[in-house]
Copies of this chain bind each other. A is one copy, B any other.
């Protein structure tokens, strides 16, 4: 996902500060980097909205514009590869702004020595994913770095879409009373990547959920204009995405743990590996914050779509714009207790996308 973050005061950099893997996690270190380095330099009103896509007005059209680099390791995994992921990730960032995805650029950074056959497989997959999503790859670039200065191949995709006139989605739009919907199970992508990377075998095979969500979004927007905000919980997982929305909207959120679907194999793998599935990356799921009266209709529309069959209402927005709970995400456990769900700190799983 394109970075989203909480605005706070910049902290001066120390001379010895270095980039850590966690700076790419989508969690608090990513937010620090943006706050301390990128935002002071690049600040402008469009960037400051900090949704997963910029919305630009050109000639009366509202264009969504978003960029993402992909460094996933390994290049091929159950349920996808870096090529299909590079399409899905950028298509989804456009879709989360309510945009119809239209065009992609694709830029490769190749490491000297990469088998051309590997590149060719990735390119074929990327091309198939683009065709399936109905987006055209219209411009590209290739750079090559010496052996040891890269890692096989990295891909950047940057996308353009058109946002319909009446659609206004933003992470700052959540209001107390809104319902929080999740389109399916958590953690499949992250655990599939980790299993592949570490050579872990499970009884049933966990597949990445990598998928293009724009047609799911389209059917949701057709059903109702009461959707406030959409986001795909990629790096940093559900927990980090909800924390970002809560902070930007200055609201609190209360989740119901029993409503959050996690496949048994994923839950087992997370327990074994000491991971919390709320923080594991997904690449084919979305969160919707919707007005309470429309929640059931939107939920039904989601369930009718193949990628939303397991959609559920997982929580409620609370707090108030000026309340002391602003930004706080909590979760009722099956035992009746409540725990705080904070943003990801550190890096659970590097190079997940």
Contact = CB atoms under 8 A, between A and B. Distances in A.
B105 A350 contact: no
B149 A151 contact: yes
A200 interface: no
A56 B151 CA distance: 33
B65 A116 contact: no
Nearest to A61: B59
A14 B16 CA distance: 47
Contacts of A201: none
Interface in A184-223: none
A350 B352 CA distance: 29
A93 to B, nearest CB: 9
Interface in A108-123: 108-117, 119-120, 123
B58 A58 contact: yes
Contacts of A23: 110, 142, 144
User: What is the copy number of this chain in the assembly?
Assistant: 2
Bin chain A's interface residue count. Answer: 35 or more
A32 to B, nearest CB: 10
Nearest to A47: B138
A35 to B, nearest CB: 12
A67 to B, nearest CB: 4
Interface of A: 1-3, 13-25, 30, 33-34, 36-38, 41-42, 44, 46-47, 53-54, 56, 58-61, 63, 65-71, 102-103, 105-117, 119-120, 123-124, 126-127, 130, 136-146, 148-151, 154, 156, 158, 160, 162, 350-351, 353
14 contacts: A13-B116, A13-B120, A17-B116, A21-B144, A24-B145, A41-B124, A46-B138, A54-B103, A56-B138, A59-B59, A67-B141, A109-B109, A146-B350, A158-B158
Q: What 10 pairs across the A-B complex have the smallest Cβ distances?
A: A24-B144, A59-B61, A67-B105, A158-B158, A54-B138, A41-B127, A149-B151, A156-B156, A17-B116, A19-B114
